[in-house]
Amino acid sequence: MSAPMPAPVSAPTATQSTSSPSPLDLALLRQSIALSEDSKQRGRHPFAALVADARGNVIVTAGNNSMPPEGDPTQHAELVAAARAATLLTPAQLADCTLYTSAEPCCMCAGAIYWTGIGRVVYALSEHALLGLTGDHPENPTFSLPCREVFARGQRQVVVLGPMLEDEAAAPHIGFWVPHA
C-alpha cells in the first residue's frame, strides 16, 4: 500500500504580491493621484499614470486623453504611459519598472502593460470602487475584470499592489461623472 499523496500547497499566483508598499511606492502613487486631478482641471477624465524605475526616477507621466470629441478612446493614461516608456527603455529596464496609476488598469491597459514588459503595477482606486463613482456614465463603461486576472493569464509575472489610498484617489472623481444637462 502506498503512502497518501500530500495535499498540494497553494502558491501565490504570479501576479500576487505579499509585500507591502514602500514609502516610495506611496509617494509615487500620490503623484499619480495628483496628476489625475491635473487631468480633471484640463477638462479630461480624472485618471493619470506614471512609470518609474526601481530607484523611483520617473520615466514618463500621462494623463487621460480619451474624452470625445478630439480624444481617442484608447488613450487611457496607463496605456499611454506604458507605450511611451517602451520607446525609451530596453525590455530589461522595463522589467524593473513600476507603473503607478490613480485607478486600477482596465483590461486594455493591463494588456499594454503586459506587452511592454513592465514588471510591476501599483494602483490606488479599484475597478469596483471606480464603478461606484462613475455609475453607468457613457464615457466610462467599465469592465468587471480585475487587472490581476488579465496578468494571471500571461506567461510572465507582473507583480500587482493595490488597491490603496482609495479615498485620496476618489477625490478627483467626486462630481465629475454627474450628467450635465
Catalytic entry in 37, 78, 104, 166: 78
Q: What is the DSSP letter of 96?
A: T
Cα–Cα distance, 29 to 99 (Å, whole number): 9
Closest to 16 (Cα-Cα) out of 162, 152, 160, 164: 160
Cα–Cα distance, 131 to 92 (Å, whole number): 35
Is 78 in the active site? yes
Cell of 132: 461606484
Cell of 151: 496578468
Residues annotated as part of the active site:
78
